[in-house]
A and B are shown apart, each in its own frame.
Chain A
Amino acid sequence: MTESQKKGALFSDDLSIPSAGEVFAALNAPCHPNWVTLLTPATAPVTTDRAQLALAVGVLAANGYIAVEAQDGQQVKNIGREMMSLAKALGVSENLMGRGSSLIEFAEDNAWDSLAAELEATENEIKTTMRDQKDRNLIVLTSAAAWLRGTEVATQIVLIDPNPQGISVIRQPELARHLAMQLDGLPPRMKNKPLVAKVQQTFSEMVTILDSMGATPESDRSKLLQIHDAAAGLVKEIMNVSGGTPSPVPSPVPAAATMQGGTKP
């Protein structure tokens, strides 16, 4: 494969970014996470800001996979309902009518594989309608937020069980770089919104951190903690959750850098 072929290779929103379900599957074998402890209540933010709504769709989609891994049918149903209401607020719900009832049906039958597939289909259906409505920018935000929430949970898992294979799942600077570039390419009216600007800045900082990982287990742990805190803080902001610490992880090593909650002076 030549360098020009590598450069010209397609980066697809749908296939080049691993689904949260895929990331979690990759963590299951080496880390054996206790998914029930990683569940958070699913409540969509009350806002009319389309950028924030699109970000929230991504967070909820990732939450859905956590609920599937935890085999919590009620949570999956709640998340499905919240995703529908977000889709309605974004005006992209017309193709989703059958999805809600499928989610409920599969949750009641404990059909976890079908539920995971249905969640991915729901997220993609929302993205397809965004694309059809020439709202491609919103897709970038949804994908970024799903990855952000996935990273928050993945780092939490690996901080509890620092398994090298688990760390390698998170250490994906190329993927983070692509998402950062996509966010950077958003039109100014969207990029300049404070929340979107914060997401973009956090991704750029994550690229730097991910690139610098691999020196020592101690420094890696400190860097994972920085990534976790930044992702967790930002997810809370997207979902309009105020106060409290992000999510419980053991933190014997203090974070060395200043990156906290995705903010930077």
Chain B
Amino acid sequence: MRTICSLLPLIVILFGCPSLKAVDEENKSLPLAPIPSEAKRLVLETASAFTDDGFKVRDADWSFTLDQAKPQFLRVTLFAGLHYWFAVASAGSGVNLKIVLYDRQGHSVKGEAWQDAGTHEGSRAATGLIPKQSGEYFVGVESLDHSTDVNLDCSLVMAYK
């Protein structure tokens, strides 16, 4: 019995553990997806509410580090007649994030704003817009808390219908 026990690891190495082998084979056939960041996981969770409402979430995110004193901007092309939502999230809790949309001239455009009341994990905000004109717009993300000096890893996604 003692000999069998001592030889067991060798037997497993030589012949393999059937169940583990099966799992390994299964994994081989699955595509290797990159592990999303925590901020991306949170923003996709936020955007899932839009999907339920018939919005299509673009299969891409904008990952960036937000310096709390300096807003970040992304160029986008939006079309009149479509309804857009932009959502941003960060893993850091209690941060007052804000999304502001600007037209081509750099003037802010009034949209529907949503901000997490602190009931969800991390920090989140979203802004919706039905543009009156098709064209280039800018999405600005800023933190309204200027007291702390920490850089925040953020992720932004957009949805349309």
**Are A and B genuine complex partners?**
yes
| Chain A residues close to B by CB (< 8 Å) | 1-3, 5-6, 8-12, 14-19, 21-23, 25-26, 29-30, 94-99, 113, 116-117, 120-121, 124-125, 128, 165, 168-169, 171-172, 174-175, 178
B76 and A168 within 8 A (CB): no
> Which A residues lie within 8 Å of B110 (CB)?
none
In the complex, the answer to whether B75 meets A172 with C-beta atoms within 8 Å is: no
B148 at the interface (CB under 8 A from A): no
Asked if A26 meets B74 with Cβ closer than 8 Å, knowing A124-B60, A174-B136, the reply is no
Complex: A171 Cα to B80 Cα, angstroms: 12
B108: chain A residues at CB < 8 Å are 1
Q: Are B76 and A29 in contact (CB under 8 A)?
A: no
Of residues 71 to 105 in B, which have CB atoms within 8 Å of A's CB atoms?
71-77, 79-82, 102, 104
B156 to A, closest residue via Cβ: A15
Q: Decide if B33 is an interface residue (CB 8 Å cutoff).
A: yes
- Measured in the bound complex, the distance between the Cα atoms of B158 and A131 in whole Å is 22
Does chain A have a CB within 8 A of B106?
yes
Are the C-beta atoms of B79 and A174 separated by less than 8 Å? no
Of all chain B residues, the one with the shortest Cβ separation from A9 is B73
Cβ B32 vs Cβ A95 within 8 A: yes
B106 and A26 contacting across the interface, CB-CB below 8 Å:
no
B24 within 8 A of A: no
In the assembled complex, the Cα of A230 lies from the Cα of B151 at a distance in Å of: 47
Q: Which 10 residue pairs spanning A and B have beta carbons closest together?
A: A14-B60, A26-B79, A9-B73, A1-B106, A168-B134, A120-B59, A98-B31, A174-B136, A121-B59, A1-B102
Query: Once A and B bind, how many residue pairs between them come within 8 Å at the CB atom?
Result: 119
Is A98 within 8 A of B30, CB to CB? yes
On whether the beta carbons of A29 and B74 are closer than 8 Å, the reply is no
Q: Give the docked Cα–Cα distance between A13 and B154 (Å).
A: 18
B135 touches A174 (CB 8 A): yes
Contact of B79 among A23, A94, A98, A124 (CB under 8 A): A23
Q: Which of B57, B74, B158 contacts A10 (CB 8 A)?
A: B74
CB-CB under 8 A from B64, the residues of chain A are 10
B75: which A residues are within 8 A, CB to CB?
9-12, 16, 178
What is the distance, in angstroms, from B106's C-beta to the closest C-beta of chain A?
4
A10: chain B residues within 8 A (beta carbon): 62, 64, 72-75
Report yes or no: A175 in contact with B77, Cβ–Cβ below 8 A: yes
Contacts A1-B138, A120-B58, A174-B104 hold; do A16 and B74 have CB atoms under 8 A apart? yes
Complex CA–CA separation, A5 to B74 (angstroms)? 10
Within 8 Å of chain A (Cβ to Cβ): is B161?
yes
